[in-house]
Each structure stands twice: as C-alpha cells, then as structure tokens.
Structure 1
Amino acid sequence: MKNTVLIPTYRRPQDLSRCLLALQVQTKPVDQIIVVIRDTDKETWQFLAEFPAHNLPIQTLTVTSPGVVAALNTGLAAVTGDIVSITDDDAAPHPDWIEKLNTHFMADSCIGAVGGRDWVHQNNKLEDGSQAIVGKLQWFGRVIGNHHLGVGQAREVDVLKGVNMSFRQIAIKQMHFDQRMRGTGAQVHFEMAFTLALKRVGWKIIYDPQVAVNHYPAQRFDEDQRHNFNEIAFINLVHNETLALLNYLSPLRQFIFLFWAILVGTRDSLGFIQWLRLLPSQGQLAGKKWLASLRGRWQGWQTYQQCRIEP
C-alpha cells in the first residue's frame, strides 16, 4: 500500500521544516510527499531549495489562487499513492502516524477516511484534556469537534480535522474540495464539507486518538487571525459551515438546522440565545458576532441555492 502525504503551505518555512523532519522518521516510509506552494511565496521556495531532503520523495507544486482549497485540489491531481494523508505545515506527525493509518485501511475495505488526534501546543504549553465525543454531527445540525482532545478506542465519526486526515484514493478519486468555501487562507470548515460528502456516499470515516500529530498553531497570513475577531472571517466561517451542512442534510433536517442555528447557535456561529448569553461578558463584540453570524447563514443559504453541486 503506497502512501502520499499532501501538505499545503504558505509563508511558514520553519514550521514546514519541522513537518518534513517528522516525515523523515516515520516507521513506515512515505512514498510521495506533495508540498503545494503559492507562486508568490518566495521564502518557502528558497527554504525548499536548501532543505536537506535525505531521500525524502518531495514533489513541489505551484498554486496561483489563494486559500487551502485550491492548494489541496492542486495536490490531489498529482497523488500516486493508494492512501493520501493530509496535514498542515505547522504540524509534526508522530513517528508511527503512517503505520497506524495503514493498519485501519488494511483492516476494512469499507473505510474511506481515517483521522486522529492533534496534540495542540500553544505558547510552549500542551493543551491537554479528554473528550469521548469527537467529530459527530447531531441530528439537528450541531457539529461536535474535539479532535484535539479525543480519547478512547477507534470509532466511526462524521467529520475529521484538516490537520490530521487520510483518505483511500479510490474513495475520493471523483471528488474535490469544495471551491465554494470562502476565505483567502484557512477557509474554515473545508474539511467538514469534504468528509460529509464522503460519508454521504457510504464510506466509513474513522477517528483513532492513537493516530496522532503534534500541532503548533502558527500565524495565518489572511483575514482569519486566530483569537481575534474579524468580521469578514467570521462571516466566511458561518457561510462555509452553513453550506457544508445544507449540502449534506435532508430537506427536513435542513429546516431544523436553520431554525436551531438562528435561534440558538454556538459560540462560533451565534444564534439569538448565544448572543444573549455572551452579551454580559462581551458587550458590543457579542452583537458584532451575532450580526456576522446572521449574514453568514444568509449567504451560505444563498450559495447553496444558487449553485448546488455534487462533490
């Protein structure tokens, strides 16, 4: 079983170096490493020209469009492996990452995707914790993530996290990452749209906490800055979430989801009740988030209605 690792990168050569060094010490060697780089990213091109590959099978590809979706679709077109594993440039897979992924794919031919835990390191501190419920879509449309805190046995889930997800090539050969996802960098929830589309056609999706990467969330060079409110990024996030879920849910569940999302919502995609809950502590910021969430919901619905596509 041949393995390809796909890494989209942008202006983070030091993080990319750590990622590539982690791939050098895999207990099962990688057969192909595809690094997709923006054409304007001179510092990363310079880094790779000087990087001591030590027989790593690195293939570099150029992308001219901004955003992770364009980068990943460019990479998918060049995959030669039976399994394609995707990680971020600011992550470092554990040495047995590829080996454990392969164990799952070899055990069950109905498994289309496998993901695992990303151990998050923030400011030299490990974000520890444990959650049994990971990557699940509740019946009314709420998505529970917790991929960075998952514990327990391997189990079926609904969605994976982009920093640690792998796919059987024959399962996704007719698919692409949804180009309707908004944003010029992270394009939050792009992986939700992709994994839900895979699940919709009947493939099993597995989450195993033992399939792990270390994750060092790095600076983003777009409107979506971590831990800071940006209206455009917030609208994009809610738009992408709305579109991904509408594309997956049945008409009845679509109605239930939109009703719940507008009335209640979550901390990341506010509904009316979440706005009331956050108002005492966040004041005007809560109002800005609520209005941005409403705009994102409306725009997500419009995109869904205007351009329904099969992934």
Structure 2
Amino acid sequence: MTATVLICTYNRADRLAETLASLARSRDVPGPWDVLVVDNNSSDRTAKVVADAAAAFPVPLRYLHEPRQGKSHALNTGLAHVTADIVAFTDDDVRVSEEWLRAAMQVMAERPDVAYVGGPVRPIWGAPPPAWFPPANGNLWGTVAILDYGPAPFEYEAARRVPIGANMAVRRAVVERAGGFSPELGRTGASLLGQEQAEFFYRTRSLGARGEYVPSMAVAHHVPAARLTRRYFRRWWWWKGVSRARLHARHPQTETGVDLSRVRRVAGVPRFVWREILGHAWAVGRAALRRDRTTAAEHEMLMIYSMGYALESCRGFLSGRGSAARMVAQRVLKKLT
C-alpha cells in the first residue's frame, strides 16, 4: 500500500516549513510514501521552502503551482497528480505526530471496508483562548479547526460526523469515484467560505463509503491570536451559514435524514431556520443573565450561523425575482461580511 501526503498552501512559508519538518520525522510508515505540496499562488517564499526541504527530505517531495485562487482548485490539482493508493490530507499550519501516517495507513491496510479515516486535531495556541471558549470539545472548537473525540475509535456515519481537512486520509479509488472538491465551496483568498470537505463526504457516502475515527492519528494545529477574537468567530460562523446554505442547495438531504426540498419555507428559507434564529437570540439573553459566557457565546455563534444561512437562502430565492431584489440581498450580504 502506498500513500501521498497532500498539502495545499497559501502564503504560509514559515508554517509550511514546520509542517514539512514534522512529516520528515514520520516513523514506521508501512509502505512507500511521498509528499505533494500545491502552492495556491503564494507571493511569499513558499517555492524556496519546498525546494530547500526537498534537498534533504527522506522521501520524494514534489511541488506544484496552482494559479487559480481557491483551496478547492488547489486540492483538485493535487489529486490529479496522485497515483498512490491513499491520499492523506493535512494543512500548511499543522504539525503531524510521528505516528500520524503510520496510524492512517495501518487501519486502511487492515480494514478494506474503511474508505477514509480521520483523527484528533489539537491546538498550538498563539495566545491564551478567551474566557468564553469552552475547555471541552464542542461547537466552538470547529471555528479554529481543532477537535478531539476521545480515546475510542468510532464509525463516522454512526456518529453523524466527518473528518476535517487538517487531518484525514481517503482511498484514491474512492476519490476517483466521488470526484474532487467543489470550486463553488472552500476558501478563496480572505473569504471564509467552507464546507468543501462536507460536500465531498456527502458524495462519498452516497457511494456507500464508510469512515473511521482513529485516535492515534493525531496532529497539532497552530491557532493564531487573530483567530481568538469575537470578531473572527462571528465572521467564521456567518460564512459557515452561507456555505451550508450553498451545500444544501446542491444536497438537500441532511445528515439527520431531513429532505430540505420538502420543508415549508418563508422567503426561500426553511421555516425552522427562522425559529432557530429567535431561539438562539433568546438563549443568548438567558445565558447572559446567568453570566454564563461560554453558553452565551455558543448561542450567539449559532444565531449568526442561522442568519448567514437565511440570507444566502434568500439570495437564492430572490435570484429569480428581479434585479432590485437581488441588489438588496447583495448589499445586505456585503455589509454583514
């Protein structure tokens, strides 16, 4: 069994050097492997960092340049150049553990029924997290791309979860059957548009693919101080709502089995989303009265998520209702993002 580690990068040369150094320390990998870095049109010294690392890297280290801005474009360019049995994904601000690749490959070698795997993503804090940030795994952890589901493995489908892009591995045959990542989703420049992984796993699961959470497949992720502000969290949750609405426009069947194409809507928005906005607003007020900052922050972000979802759904609804209506929706979105 062979593996390629795929890293997409954009203007993080120094962090990328740390990522590559951690990969070079990988131990007991049970098969041939290599690393492929896709430079998504960086303006820093990314190309030199990769070239310098390749000179002394223990396995082949390749470099590709993708001029089209957008993480999904970079991912798809990388996938087009992978011939290994397994594609292991991580990010350019991550340090992988020495056992990371071995753990991923071992499970997939021993379990032919497992199409993809993922593991914990632990923080390297750039500053102390704010007082309202929860100490245990929960909704707000995803904002800074960390997660830890504990020491026991489980099946992703049964838990209604998916891996995150900083730490996952997929059989190349499954990628080829499902197709790549949607360019309509995923980061582009400063945008916080996302859900490209979630959309990808919608398609893999429609093929009957199943995945496993592997606790020993661990990585650590840099969380800069700039991402530990209320402002960043609000932007991130707003864009998650926008991204999720776009995802559901393409795949109306939710993880819980709800067919959104059949639910009742108001102004193009599912009625339950309007109820969620009001419910979370009420919960913010109640938590604030109790001085429960963590609960208040969580409900605030969920409210903002639902608002982003609602406005994006409205934009889709208004797209066929005249240029004036479209213009109003676009102006509101611009002001709020």
TM-score band, normalised by shorter chain: 0.7 to 0.9
Cα shift at 1:44: 1.1
Distance 2:228 2:67 in 1: 22
Paired position in structure 1 for 2:122: 119
Kindly tell me: are residues 300 and 242 of structure 1, through their superposed partners in 2, closer, same or farther at Cα, counting changes over 3 Å?
Answer: farther
Unaligned runs of 5+ in 2: 264-268, 289-295, 320-337
Which string of whole-angstrom CA distances, capped at 9 and with x for unpartnered residues, describes residues 115-173 of structure 1? 00001121366999655x99xxxxxxxx9x99612113211114111110100111111
**1:138 paired residue number:** none
CA distance in 1, matches of 2:154, 2:318: 35
Equivalent residues in 2 for 1:159-178, closer than 5 Å: 159-174=162-177, 175-178=179-182
Residue 279 (structure 1) shift:
5.5
Tell me the equivalent position of 1:46.
Answer: 48
Counting aligned pairs with the same residue, the percent is 20
Give TM-score, length-normalised by structure 2: 0.71
C-alpha displacement of 1:38 = 2.4
Q: Quote the Cα distance in structure 2 between the aligned partners of 1:22 and 1:293.
A: 38
Q: Which runs of 5+ in 1 are unaligned?
A: 135-142, 265-270, 304-311
2:206 counterpart of 1:207: no
Retained in 2: the 8 A contact 1:239–1:299? no
* Deviation, structure 1 residue 106: 1.5
CA distance, structure 1, for counterparts of residue 56 and residue 225 of structure 2: 25
Paired with 2:20 and 2:185, the residues of 1 have a C-alpha distance of 28
Counterpart CA distance in 2 for 1:116 and 1:170 is 21
Please show how residues 148-167 of structure 1 align to structure 2 within 5 Å. 148-157=147-156, 158-167=161-170
Give the TM-score of the pair, scaled to structure 1.
0.77
Q: Which has the higher helix share?
A: 2
Secondary structure class of the residue paired with 1:8: strand
Distance 1:258 1:149, change over 3 A: farther
User: Aligned in 2, Cα 1:95/1:233: closer, same or farther, shift over 3 Å?
Assistant: closer
CA contact (8 A) 1:234 1:293 kept: no
Query: Any conservation in 1 of the 2:7–2:91 contact (CA below 8 Å)?
Result: yes
Structure with higher Rg: it is 2
> How far 1:293 sits from its partner (Å)?
3.9
Which residue does 1:31 correspond to in 2?
Answer: 33
Q: Deviations over 1:63-101 (max 9, x none)?
A: 112221111111110112100000011111111111111
Q: Does 1:92 align with 2:95?
A: yes
**Residues 1-311 of structure 1 correspond to what in structure 2 (within 5 A)?**
1-29=1-29, 31-51=33-53, 52-123=55-126, 148-157=147-156, 158-174=161-177, 175-181=179-185, 183-185=187-189, 187-218=193-224, 227-229=230-232, 235-245=238-248, 247=251, 249=253, 252-254=258-260, 255=262, 258-264=270-276, 271-278=277-284, 291-299=307-315
